[in-house]
Amino acid sequence: MAMTMGELWTQVGSLMATLMFVWAIIQQYFPYQFRGHVQRYAHKLTGFLYPYITITFPEYTGERLRRSEAFSAIQNYLASRSSIRANRMRAEAVKDSKSLILSMDDNEEVIDEFEGVQIWWTSSKTTSKNPSVSYYPSNDERRFYKLTFHRRHRDTILGSFINHIMEQGKAVEQMNRQRKLYMNNAKNDWGHKSNWRHVPFEHPANFKTLAMDPKKKQEIINDLIKFKNGKEYYEKVGKAWKRGYLLYGPPGTGKSTMIAAMANFMEYDVYDLELTSVKDNSELKKLLIEVSNKAMIVIEDIDCSLDLTGQRKKKKKTEDEEETEEKKDPVKKAEKEEEKQSKVTLSGLLNFIDGIWSACGGERLIIFTTNHKEKLDEALIRRGRMDKHIEMPFCGFEAFKALSRNYLDVEWHDSYHKIGQLLEEAEMSPADVAENLMPKYEGETMDDCFKRLVEALEDAKEEAEKKKKAEEEAEAAKMAEKEKEKEKEKKSKDIEMKSNGIGGKEAKENGETEKDEKN
């Protein structure tokens, strides 16, 4: 039996050596057309004997060797699968990620499972022996993943598993990515190819610490959740997947904090759009095109950003006159440049929010803030553009309790009743309340903080009463002045009527005298 097995292995070895020799002769001396036929039939024979299919996912694709989205998705998918345990791992610091990304090391294999189908993942690497000369230099190493499965599961793997990998991988990437705060570049900033530049977004605000009435806060949270899960609904009703929010109220009421809390809750990037830096409506559209999905577009103090009424047209001058004035007066040149940077019109902004171009992306929030809602054009804030209007009022008692918990870790204090009463009588923003609650030196007690707040509220109440009294006096003086004007006008009319009556009597008497003289 041992001799039989030895002979068998000898014959197999001889056969393999013969095949390799024949293949080397074919590659060396036969034309490529013949070699192609041989390779095709060899693959068929291998497929008949080896019933497994392999799909390769390279790390870089295309002429410019851009990183493949599929490779990144697979890397994130495998890193998130707790059931897949590789013995050798690779740790990478991926750009825009909050933490290190762990992946399989080169030439490592793991087993995965999907709907009862067994799958083999292999991480491999190749090195190019003939370096190519290209305008886009790159590393000679090429990494790729190989997915191997039995041919009878082809429909399952190609039909649903590939899509499952992409969705799961993108979800993991979205969860691990470093969110960003963007600002639009000025037109003369040639150092950046993109119209946006960014910094990491690390604002700590959240709805738990937001000073607001709990019912109103929960209403906003429910609205955001409904929007985030509403992709199919928006497609059903035929609307772009976006939603507009108008935050309005006095200064210091927490509008910017609300934006940060919404961004953290939704896990969106924030695009802070400065309209005065936008040259015209065309550039505004370019900015919109570059905004990613899952993003918030914010325009703060929209009533102060630009004059959007279209009343900024001036008489045009000839080019020679303009050049002469610019040479004489550099200030006018700067003013002219500023004017060129602010040609965004109300129509352009409306198209930006709700026009055809607004549908060039999905899952976006558009947020305006203003201190004076009444100054905004009705077309700008109507439903469908600014779908939800959120008033940010002066600090109320519920908001004060949230601030007290945040700043002093206090649920109740003896001064709460008095503070609640003063908040109803005085107008104070949450920012001012927070400033009074914040300890000013080491060792300051909560009683001192509440005492300072009570004094500030009493001062605010006194100022409000003085202001109200002054307004009442001014109104009374205005009414008295109107009464005086009316009285004066009445006297003037009476004098005129009396004067007209005397004149008529004298005219009548003079007429009778003349008649008597004639007789």
Secondary structure (H, E, C), 258-271: HHHHHHHHHCCEEE
pLDDT in tens, 400-412: 999 999 999 998 8
Residues 160 and 244 in one domain: no
The arithmetic mean of pLDDT across residues 79-105, rounded, is 69
The helix (run of H) or strand (run of E) holding residue 31 is none
Cα–Cα distance measured from residue 417 to residue 414, given in angstroms and rounded to the nearest whole number = 7
- For the chain, the average pLDDT equals 80
Residues 222 and 346 in one domain: yes
> How distant, in Å, are the alpha carbons of 91, 120, 306, 391, 450 from that of 250?
49, 61, 20, 9, 24
Residue ending a domain, among 372, 391, 410, is 391
Residues 237 and 347 in one domain: yes
Domain that holds residue 155: 51-127+139-176
Residue 44, in any domain of the structure: no
pLDDT in tens, 285-317: 888 888 988 899 999 999 887 665 444 344 444
Higher pLDDT, 85 or 235: 235
Is the pLDDT reported for residue 146 higher than 70? yes
199 phi and psi angles, rounded to 5 deg: -135, 160
Residue 335, in any domain of the structure: yes
How would residue 135 be classed by pLDDT, with cut points 50, 70 and 90?
very low
* pLDDT for res 103: 72
Residue 270, in any domain of the structure: yes
* pLDDT for res 384: 84
Residue 229, in any domain of the structure: yes
Q: Strand, coil or helix: what is 283?
A: helix
Both tokens assigned to 59: 């790390």
CA dihedral 100, 106, 107, 113 (to 10 degrees): 30
Neighbours of 60 (CB within 10 A): 15
Identity of the residue numbered 131: P
Residues 65 and 206 in one domain: no
Higher pLDDT, 14 or 374: 374
Cα–Cα distance measured from residue 366 to residue 25, given in angstroms and rounded to the nearest whole number = 68
Is the pLDDT reported for residue 187 higher than 70? no
Residues 370 and 242 in one domain: yes
* pLDDT for res 312: 39
Residues 80 and 163 in one domain: yes
> How distant, in Å, are the alpha carbons of 330, 345, 436, 445, 452 from that of 440?
48, 47, 9, 10, 11
Q: What is the CATH number of the domain that holds 235?
A: 3.40.50.300
- 5-14, 192-201, 441-450 — most confident range: 441-450
Spatial strand order of the sheet with 364-370 comes to: 196-200, 180-184, 269-272, 295-299, 364-370, 242-248, 388-391
Residue 37, in any domain of the structure: no
Both tokens assigned to 284: 């505004």
Would you give the DSSP letter of residue 243? Answer: E
Both tokens assigned to 18: 């013969």
Residue ending a domain, among 391, 411, 434, is 391
Residues 357 and 222 in one domain: yes
pLDDT in tens, 492-501: 877 777 776 6
* pLDDT for res 314: 43
Helix count and strand count (H, E) for the chain? 18, 15
The arithmetic mean of pLDDT across residues 207-231, rounded, is 93
The arithmetic mean of pLDDT across residues 417-446, rounded, is 91
Any bridge partners for residue 181, and if so which?
A: 199, 270
* pLDDT for res 390: 95
Residue 13, in any domain of the structure: no
Which of 182-191, 194-203, 254-263, 405-414 has the least mean pLDDT? Answer: 182-191
Residue 406, in any domain of the structure: yes
Residues 120 and 234 in one domain: no
Cα–Cα distance measured from residue 324 to residue 322, given in angstroms and rounded to the nearest whole number = 5
Is the pLDDT reported for residue 447 higher than 70? yes
∠ CA(362), CA(367), CA(372), 5° rounding? 160
pLDDT in tens, 452-474: 999 999 999 998 888 888 888 88
Is the pLDDT reported for residue 448 higher than 90? yes
Higher pLDDT, 517 or 144: 144
How would residue 125 be classed by pLDDT, with cut points 50, 70 and 90?
confident
Is the pLDDT reported for residue 1 higher than 50? no
Residues 353 and 220 in one domain: yes
Residues 102 and 154 in one domain: yes
Residue ending a domain, among 176, 204, 236, is 176
How would residue 323 be classed by pLDDT, with cut points 50, 70 and 90?
low
Share of the chain above pLDDT 90, in %: 30
Cα–Cα distance measured from residue 433 to residue 419, given in angstroms and rounded to the nearest whole number = 11
Helix axis angle, 69-80 to 162-176, nearest 10°: 80
* pLDDT for res 7: 72
> How distant, in Å, are the alpha carbons of 17, 189, 312, 397 from that of 338?
80, 15, 13, 45
Is the pLDDT reported for residue 361 higher than 90? no
165 close to 73: Cβ distance less than 8 angstroms? yes
Residue 332, in any domain of the structure: yes
Residues 362 and 414 in one domain: no
How would residue 268 be classed by pLDDT, with cut points 50, 70 and 90?
very high
Residues 213 and 340 in one domain: yes
Share of the chain above pLDDT 70, in %: 77
Extended strands (E) in 294-363: 295-299
Task: Report the number of distinct structural domains present in the chain.
Answer: 3
Both tokens assigned to 167: 């969705």
Is the pLDDT reported for residue 137 higher than 50? no
Residue position matching structure tokens 């409306």 = 350
433 close to 453: Cβ distance less than 8 angstroms? yes
What is this structure's pTM?
0.69
384: region left, alpha or beta (phi > 0 left; psi from -120 to 50 alpha):
left
